[in-house]
Structure 1
């Protein structure tokens, strides 16, 4: 990284780190006053970041660092998280897990796209909302947009709504855990199959327990791996002239951090990574994830979201409800653990 790049990234990264410290401080206050942690630092970081952006805006000189924190810092956290996951975690589920996740993604794409079209959304916008909801939020939207020739306005609207609804899900989902008779493992599977993006899965599962974080992340990354086949299908059926002369790179279809996650998971399973290093990796992953959560919040402006149009909001909510129903159906395929 050049000095110029570091200077550009620095201010936004410092702000995200500052929000992380503030979130950790509020958690300490919770424990001192209530005797226990009521709201996780990850969730507090998202709320603080969103409030700052919504109330005061985000200065241009902060954007590079916020984007870096929300993307690259998170990717490092995910790779480190792989060291805390063993292949034994999914040994019992095996091919059934893969099949359920694949079916959930496919059915969610169909349901979300159909709902969007019924509400009168244009084809490109409906496709982007469906991809963002069903696969992996912003990453899926950004990957699908050039393939189908989507306009920048459609990309901005779909990203705004999926980001905002994703934050709402992260805030509400953990509060539902005590209401329903499910184990941490089951909750993690449901979160992995329904929450929009990888960082949001981490934020939604961390308040429940380590088992939820591990299986939730694994299931979510399986959903992310569906991005490659889906993008290829979109290129085949919807691409046309939009992708003429372009080639899809392997990096776009399989992001490097997914490969890194599975590599560190395999190293842990083979006992190549010692237990002391595993503890360090888990702690580092938690800190970096909170920094990325702060950046995620800083990227959401609720004023812009609500100004983008009611039909997109309704489409997003209905798509989320359909994904939740599919998640429940998929969860029923597994025995309680």
Structure 2
């Protein structure tokens, strides 16, 4: 009789750990389902409009949804999970697009130009932003987005700095606006300047913000521009790893002097995974079907993350940001494009 009386208690105790494990999944499930449905719709639309990046469509769709519909509270944990966790996995898989041999084939001169674009782009944007009176986090998000690889860089940097949500969304929105404008501007200016197709491709890869935007501009230029534009852009993407490592080290130093603040890792795990994926792709052991699947998965994850980021856009909050980030975006775009063009012209 005693054992029968205690049986329900024991069964309840055994089920408790399982309930605790399922609780986080139940919390994120509604938002994840919303994100998954939106991602599928965006990817389908992207197939119909291949000239437009699904990442850009996703963030616009998320922003429209958030400002036309009061997103229920139960959706928010899943959206937050998508904007942070799925983004990091997507950035890591981005490494599978990179073959170090292709980057090294650019030659020491062009690699030096890429390093200069990223280093001088970040430094110049940070300096201009300081003159405009913008905070450090806002300046750095814009600097990395415009100098490295657009929205993915903004979101990756947000993973290691303590930025406000409005600052992240402002930086991503500016990447979309100015990077899209560059798709038309670079081919026209390259033609006016009399650049050869390969030179114009190098300039596009060295100056335009998003990989998808570079592809669009390279295709518009024609000739051999597209291939070289993509390789130069991917060389800039590689620079994401050392930049994240440097800013992580900065955050660790700052956290030493703050109470009850956890110190971030010197190199975030997703950056280590990004480098590992790059090394794996460089070995050439992965079959083509695996690379195709990985590319689709990476695009889907980044699309989901951009939708979730867009779902946090509050138009009223963005209005409060004022015109200064817009001015900095214009300055940064011009500066990065100037550095890239100077480097291309010096190489002849």
TM-score range, shorter chain: 0.7 to 0.9
| TM superposition shift of 1:103 | 3.1
Residue aligned with 1:39, SS: coil
Computing the radius of gyration from Cα coordinates, the structure with the larger value is 2
Q: 2:40 matched to which residue of 1?
A: 21
Which residue matches 2:182?
173
Which residue of the partner structure matches residue 85 of structure 2? Answer: 72
Counterpart CA distance in 2 for 1:248 and 1:100 is 34
CA distance change for structure 1 residues 243 and 300 in 2, over 3 Å: closer, same or farther?
same
**Structure 1 pair 294–84 and aligned structure 2 pair: CA distance change class (3 A):** same
Describe the shift of the 1:326–1:59 C-alpha distance in structure 2 as closer, same or farther (beyond 3 A): farther
Contact in 1 for aligned 2:178/2:330 (Cα 8 Å): no
Shift of 1:90: 0.7
Within a 5 Å distance, the mapping from 1:129-140 to structure 2 comes to 129-135=138-144, 136-140=153-157
Give the counterpart of 1:47 among 57, 60, 82: 60
Consecutive unaligned residues in structure 1, runs of 5 or more: 31-36, 146-151, 196-200
Question: Secondary structure at the residue paired with 2:57?
Answer: helix
- TM-aligned CA distance change 1:130 to 1:7, over 3 Å: same
- From 161, 166, 188, the equivalent of 2:170 is 161
Question: 2:319 — aligned with what?
Answer: 306
Q: Which residue of 1 aligns with 2:6?
A: none
Partner residue, 1:270 = 283
Mapping for residues 225-304 of structure 1, pairs under 5 Å:
225-230=242-247, 232=249, 239=254, 242-243=257-258, 248-249=263-264, 251=265, 253-304=266-317
Indicate conservation of the 8 Å contact 1:129/1:316, yes or no: no
Note closer, same or farther for the CA distance 1:286–1:233 as it changes in structure 2 (3 Å cut).
Answer: closer
Q: Deviations over 1:234-253 (max 9, x none)?
A: 877xx59855797854x3x4
Q: Which consecutive residues of structure 2, in runs of 5 or more, have no partner in the other structure?
A: 1-19, 145-152, 192-196, 220-225
- Residue 86 (structure 1) shift: 2.0
State the Cα distance separating 1:165 from its structure 2 match: 0.7
**Residues 1:189 and 2:205 are matched in the alignment:** yes
Report what 1:143 is aligned to: 160
Distance in 2 between residues matched to 1:285 and 1:55, nearest whole Å: 28
The number of residue pairs the alignment matches comes to: 306
**Aligned match of 1:7:** 26
Cα separation, partners in 2 of 1:268 and 1:38, compared to 1, 3 Å: closer
